[in-house]
């Protein structure tokens, strides 16, 4: 890994290091160890850490060695023409990690498990689409984290650290354009958000949540989420809050 590979230009053309995801991965490990030292972590909780780190690693590889086009449609076209891309490799890791994680959690009906895997994988990819403006992905994660604060942290031991000590410092760096999440960081946040939503929802809520995640991914790859956010005044205000150079 070199500084050159870890750096890229943001939406304003400012060259920044994509290192916030590395810090968040470290926080995820420390958070899990802290929970394990307290109430303890069952198999499903350790599975959370392993799956989270796999998703982060796949995103980091896509940051460092971006082979092929950007965007889900572009990667699918490349695969259809016989060319593997790091984006598709990342997607395979995300889907596999989602399926395995859901299987390790307390037993739920089969249709809930399938919908849950779609929900988690969809959120992991969705946060990648959110990470095109400073602070956007981190703010969205904070909203989800606060709304799901009642979930069993023994099954989601990475969340306490990310929510309490990880995202706020990262948000400060991101908003001030000192560093970026990169795919590793944004996929890690989205994956964790998806896990939290799955654990927080009753069975009947998982299917519509998965459908929403899929629909938002379609929007991100077509209309773009930026247009949707700019069209809604409350979302636009939150999106621009604290951002360097944001219009007043």
DSSP codes joined into one string, 212-235: HHHHHHHHHHTT-HHHHHHHSHHH
Q: For all residues of the chain together, what is the average pLDDT?
A: 90
Residue 149 has pLDDT above 50, yes or no: yes
| Chain segment 77-136, per-residue pLDDT in tens | 665 666 667 788 899 999 999 999 999 999 999 999 999 999 999 999 999 999 999 999
Kindly list the distances between the CA atom of residue 37 and the CA atoms of 14, 41, 60, 134, 213, in Å, as whole numbers in the listed order.
42, 8, 29, 35, 34
| Chain segment 16-37, per-residue pLDDT in tens | 899 999 999 999 999 999 999 9
Pick 173 or 73 by higher pLDDT.
Answer: 173
Model confidence band, residue 2 (pLDDT cutoffs 50, 70, 90): very low
Q: What is the pLDDT of residue 65?
A: 80
Contact call for residues 142 and 196 (beta carbons, < 8 A): no
């Amino acid at each position: 890994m070199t500084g050159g590979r870890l750096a890229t230009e943001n939406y304003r053309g400012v060259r920044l290091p994509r290192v916030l995801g590395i810090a968040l991965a470290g926080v995820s490990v420390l958070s899990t160890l802290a929970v394990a030292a307290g109430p303890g972590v069952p198999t499903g909780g350790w599975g959370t850490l392993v799956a989270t780190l796999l998703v982060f690693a796949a995103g980091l590889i896509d940051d460092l060695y971006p082979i092929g086009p950007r965007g889900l449609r572009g990667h699918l076209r490349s695969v259809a023409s016989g060319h593997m891309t790091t984006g598709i490799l990342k997607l395979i890791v995300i889907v596999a990690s989602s399926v395995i994680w859901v299987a390790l959690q307390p037993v739920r009906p089969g249709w809930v498990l399938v919908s849950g895997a779609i929900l988690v994988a969809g959120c992991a990819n969705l946060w990648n689409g959110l990470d095109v403006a400073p602070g956007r992905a981190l703010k969205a994660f904070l909203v989800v984290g606060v709304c799901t604060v009642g979930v069993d942290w023994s099954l989601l031991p990475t969340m306490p650290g990310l929510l309490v000590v990880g995202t706020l410092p990262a948000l400060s760096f991101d908003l001030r354009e000192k560093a970026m999440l990169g795919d590793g960081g944004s996929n890690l946040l989205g994956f964790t958000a998806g896990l939290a939503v799955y654990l927080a929802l009753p069975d009947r809520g998982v299917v519509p949540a998965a459908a929403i995640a899929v629909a938002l991914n379609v929007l991100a790859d077509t209309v773009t989420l930026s247009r949707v956010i700019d069209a809604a005044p409350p979302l636009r205000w939150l999106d621009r809050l604290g951002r360097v150079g944001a219009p007043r």
